[in-house]
Amino acid sequence: MTLSIQIVVDVTGETSGTPGVARTFDYTKLGTSPTVTLSLDDTTGVTSYYWEFVDIPVGSSADLSSSTTAEPTFDPDVVGTYLVQCTVNSGEAYARNAVAFTTQYKGLRKPAAGETTEYDVVSGWRAAMDALFDTADGAITTDTDAIHDNVDGEINAITPKASPVTGDLLLIEDSGDTYSKKSITLGDIDGIVTHIDSDAIHDNVAGEILAIDLKGSPTTSDLVLIEDVADSNNKKRTTIQGIINLASGGGVPASSIELGSGNYEYTQAASPIEEVCGNGSFNGLLIDGASVDAYFKAAVTNVFNSSGTTRVRLYDLGPAAGPLDASPRQVSELTFSTNGGPLSSEQSLTVVSGSPSTNEILNSDRMYEIALIQDASTEGDTAYVGSACLEVK
């Protein structure tokens, strides 16, 4: 009697196999480290076994636990088809069967090299090849609906949505995640815009300018935002110098800086020492070429026990932005010889572009200093500086 045998394929964690029917699993099954157990459906009259692989997937290291036992096992390790054969009684009969693990993305089963029987009509080698060709052919036709980075007008050809809502999706590339493609909603964008707008200046919100950091020492190069009345009130920028250039004369103070104030007290000694009572920056461009005048002014109260002279001096220390000059230049001096006060005096100044002399200042942003000194005395004379300033009118 000729033996008739069929191979049963059992896999760890799965239902029992059917004789002669191949088993097919998703590629994720490999992640559970399954063991495949092989057996015959009927061992009547079988006296010897010889199990072997007819084919295993490329890159697999699978090996049968034994080639001569009734139920050998092996551990599949890569995607593909494992085709096994069992020969009994030294060639009296043999049978083949297969177990396969499908590909990751398309779910296709790679056929074994020696596979000639369609073990599984659903996911067998013929179905796998048909699906592969259909997929490849379909990729060519469906690509006409894709968006490319080198084809104009593709987005314009898409049907527009007349009334988008916050839940509608947008495709983005995430700059925080190596530009991986992700989706966001229109509502997400609205949240971003709201955040950015919180730093804007509005025409209907009070206190926004007051909340901005104050610059303590503005320069003529600082920018100011304006609306140009000559150009439909479009927003433009100008400099503080541009605004200063609009200033006119007529005795109205255009700008001034206090170089000393607060009733600074100076007490005379036998060996006079010049004392600094104030400093600050002043830009000669404020008056250069404009119809305005510059003055060095001071107010002093003298308390002499007999007589004396108080001298208030103006020094140019150098560029306001630094570095300061090694030897400050005395610009002007106001003298006060009368006892009592307050006594006021002023000296007009001329703006020059270079090589200034007495009572002349440069047409640039400079640092100035006020110093006070009295004639030598041992009588303890005192002077009080009520104020000292550079003023532009």
pLDDT tens for each residue of 62-76: 999 999 999 999 999
Angstrom distance (rounded) from CA 133 to CA 106? 12
**Look-up of token digits 């002349």:** 360
Q: Which sign, positive or negative, has the C-alpha torsion 248, 250, 254, 255? A: positive
pTM, 2 dp: 0.37
Q: What pLDDT does 309 receive? A: 85
pLDDT tens digits for 296-331?
888 888 787 777 788 888 999 999 888 998 889 999
pLDDT tens digits for 116-139?
665 554 445 555 566 666 666 554
Q: What pLDDT does 133 receive? A: 61
Q: What pLDDT does 116 receive? A: 63
Angstrom distance (rounded) from CA 309 to CA 372? 11
Q: What residues of the chain score a pLDDT lower than 50?
A: 121-123, 139-142, 245, 247-255, 261-262
Domains of the chain, residue spans? 7-137, 214-246, 255-392
Q: Are strands 340-352 and 360-362 parallel, antiparallel or unpaired?
A: parallel
Q: What pLDDT does 250 receive? A: 36
Strand-pairing partners, residue 297, are 346, 389
Q: What pLDDT does 245 receive? A: 47
Q: Count CB atoms within 10 A of the CB of residue 9.
A: 23
What is the homologous superfamily of the domain 7-137 according to CATH?
Immunoglobulins (2.60.40.10)
Class of domain 255-392: mainly beta
